[in-house]
Chains A and B, each alone.
Chain A
Amino acid sequence: MSLAGKRILVAKPGLDGHDIGAKIITLALRDAGADVIYTGLRKSPDYIARVAVDEDVDALGLSILSGSHHELLAQTRTELAARDAADIKIFVGGTIPPQDHQALIDAGAARIFTSEMTIDHVLAELELALTETA
């Protein structure tokens, strides 16, 4: 329940066409008390950043299965910064090989979530990350 009142955007950038994972996480976040907006498939980083700003979200989750996670994270951060919103925390989820995790964290992701993690673990990590100051 400690995600109560948090506004979270779950976004699907890039070209992959599967969003079961994004939908599962959307429901889990709602059940943990958060107010969740899901973008639907194949959104551009520009679009995602605009929605994140207009909706004033506390966290932005990028669900990426296509392998383009480095590019999409970088582009999304650029678009957020262009809107004076570099402080919005970004989480990356999907098929992310373990060897890429550190690079994504170094590039500004707050946490990496993979399908091997339990939902409870994801929620606990998310909650923790939202209390950390940048």
Chain B
Amino acid sequence: MSDNPPLNRRQLSRELTAASRATAGQLINRVGPDRERRAYRIGFTGPPGAGKSTLIAQLAAARAESEARVGVLAIDPSSPLSGGSILGDRIRMDEVADSPDLFIRSLPSRWAHDGLTGNVAEMLQIMDRHHFDEVFLETVGVGQTDHAVKALVDTVVLVLVPESGDSIQAMKAGILEMADVYVVNKSDRPNAERIVGEIEGVLALSTGSRRGWQPPVVTTSATRNELGDLLGALASHRAWTEANRDDLAWRRRAERHHVQSVLNQQIAEIAEQAPVELFDASGAEIYAHFLTHLTPPGD
């Protein structure tokens, strides 16, 4: 921490922009394994408006007291119509957490449909090179489809609210099974304890491959700065992960996600650049067009 070089915000900022603007063709040769030593990464997912950003701000403020260098990458959805976005996560964070060791970058999801954004894997590596101790990654927050974050972070936090009751049954088979820590935020509202019970019920039934980790369910009220046992739950999972994680499996999964996301980007780019008449052709011809336009590495 203290022996790190000072944070060069302008340079970090520009490196992140360059990474987010790189084309798939440029990225192919840059895909590389995650470094050994790196920031501890925590992913936050959960339905829109659950309080992910507010909660991250409170956590960042708590970390600032220990002089840890904390980074936040916060992803908001791009409009499918205009391609533009309003990046609103930051406004919830800045008001609470304002420290020289905190760096926040807002990112649009663009063509990515997995709750993340293109090339976020490389952006996380950039954060490592700038000596962050911890990085919080906020997904778009579409709930069910945000599994991808699991491939890139060490701890996944699923943020729900007391009103999430109806969706919990529906989520059973999806994201509800993959989080490491469950948060029922907005516990200042009625029914928080009931939701905690429902989540615990679902977790008790799932026999997934957690290899011994018992995911805790904690209640918070981010706007009242009541973090409950969240700090403790995150510390426990970190200790458990560092003792038990299969690093090889983890690295393979991260690499697979990274390469797959570059391929997805390239396919989106080919679709965008294709002449409209292409889509009058047969399915097989359109498919062949995509295949011939994929760039092999080294070009």
Contact = CB atoms under 8 A, between A and B. Distances in A.
Interface of A: 1, 3-5, 7, 26-27, 29-40, 47, 50-51, 53-56, 83-85
A34 B79 CA distance: 10
A30 to B, nearest CB: 4
B16 A35 contact: no
A30 B82 contact: yes
Interface in B1-28: 9-10, 13-14, 16-17, 21
Contacts, number: 72
B91 A1 contact: no
A86 B104 CA distance: 21
Task: Give the 6 A-B CB pairs with smallest separation, nearest first.
Answer: A30-B84, A56-B13, A56-B17, A33-B84, A35-B108, A33-B83
A26 B91 CA distance: 14
* Most chain A beta-carbon neighbours within 10 Å: one of B14, B83, B105: B83
B136 interface: no
Given A53-B9, A53-B10, A29 B84 contact: yes
Interface string B154-198: 000000000000000000000000000000000000000000000
Interface in B80-139: 81-88, 90-91, 94-95, 98, 103-106, 108
Contact of A5 (B13, B21, B81, B105): B21
Q: From A27, A36, A51, A56, name the one whose CB has the most chain B CB atoms within 10 angstroms.
A: A56
A33 B87 contact: no
Given A51-B90, A56-B13, 19 more contacts: A1-B82, A4-B84, A5-B21, A7-B17, A27-B86, A30-B84, A33-B82, A33-B83, A34-B84, A35-B87, A36-B85, A37-B87, A40-B91, A50-B9, A53-B10, A54-B13, A55-B87, A55-B90, A84-B10
A31 B82 contact: yes
A56 B94 contact: no
A83 B9 contact: yes
B interface, over-half SS: mixed
B86 A56 contact: no
Nearest to B107: A35
Contacts of B14: 56
B82 to A, nearest CB: 5
Residue of A5, A33, A35, A53 most packed against chain B (CB within 10 A): A35
Given A5-B21, A7-B17, A83-B9, A38 B91 contact: yes
A54 B83 CA distance: 22
A56 B84 contact: no
A38 to B, nearest CB: 7
Contacts of A4: 83-84
26 contacts: A3-B84, A4-B84, A5-B21, A30-B85, A31-B84, A32-B82, A35-B106, A35-B108, A36-B85, A36-B86, A37-B86, A37-B90, A37-B91, A38-B88, A40-B91, A40-B95, A50-B9, A51-B90, A53-B9, A53-B10, A55-B13, A55-B87, A55-B90, A55-B105, A56-B13, A56-B16
B181 to A, nearest CB: 27
B138 to A, nearest CB: 14
Contacts of A30: 79, 82, 84-86
B91 A39 contact: yes
Given A31-B82, A55-B106, A83 B87 contact: no
A29 to B, nearest CB: 7
B75 to A, nearest CB: 11
A110 B86 CA distance: 23
A37 B106 contact: yes
Nearest to A27: B86
Contacts of B13: 53-56
A54 B105 contact: yes
Interface string B206-241: 000000000000000000000000000000000000
Contacts of A1: 82-83
A84 B14 CA distance: 12
A51 to B, nearest CB: 7
